[in-house]
Amino acid sequence: MKPEIRGFADAGAMVTALAASVAGTLEGALRRTGRASLVVSGGRTPERLFGRLGVRRLDWANVWITLADERWVPAGDPASNEALVRSSLLVGPAAAARFVPLHTGDATPEAGEAACARRLAAMPRPFDLVLLGMGEDGHTASLFPGSPDLRRALDGAGPCAAVGAPGPAPARMTLTMPTLLDAHRIAILVTGDAKRAVLDAALAPGPVEDMPVRAVLRQDGVPVEIFWAP
């Protein structure tokens, strides 16, 4: 199943279209089943999206939201994806949503894996939408090329996995690849010409271990839309 690439003139137009698309997906799930589930990622572009999405009038009390990955820092830390979601998405109407954090308060992500897995088990699955980003090294979520934890996170015996990050960055918790793919739909945000070149490389032949986002792009079970703007 070849990913669909949707190009936009600028990031503003992309965010507007994606907010409408995400809201439509959630509305459809709420009509069909009375509940919906959304996986989101951190970053500057998602932050703009969250501002547009959180003000929409949905039945947010029946929407579950979690993160694709999280740095192992306290929830109030500026580097925390949870902090970003709470300050930019879970405000206004969306404050009623059921947020499922990945950080458990344990000293390490390894110590928190079991508790995190129990939290995730309470979410409606398959996820209605998984929203991912992509790094310039071809990583997605916290699935980094060269990581000693990569194979375990790609194979995914459980819903989440403790992983290291490159350099001095904090360790992380990530949803495993089988968990990310347990979805009705996946959207990947790509902005800038440099990342478009990375995307083109990821769509070309090569090992998944070199560019882990390839595991999402190459699978045939879940439709993938790529939202790109320069």
How far is 10 from 95, CA to CA, in rounded Å?
A: 29
User: What pLDDT does 169 receive?
Assistant: 85
Q: How far apart, in Å, are the Cα atoms of 5 and each of 8, 113, 203, 206, 227?
A: 10, 34, 11, 20, 6
168, with CB counted inside 10 A (0-12, 13-18, 19+), is: exposed
User: What pLDDT does 103 receive?
Assistant: 98
User: What pLDDT does 113 receive?
Assistant: 98
Q: Is 13 helix (H, G, I), strand (E, B) or coil?
A: helix
As averages over each run of 10 residues, the pLDDT of the chain (230 residues) reads 95 96 98 98 91 96 98 94 97 97 97 98 97 97 96 96 90 98 98 97 98 98 98
Domains of the chain, first to last: 4-229 (3.40.50.1360)
User: What pLDDT does 121 receive?
Assistant: 97
User: What pLDDT does 165 receive?
Assistant: 86
Global pTM exceeds 0.95: yes
User: What pLDDT does 50 receive?
Assistant: 96
If you write DSSP's letter for every residue of 106-145 in order, what string do you get? Answer: -SSHHHHHHHHHHHHHTS-SSBSEEEE---TTS-BTTB-T
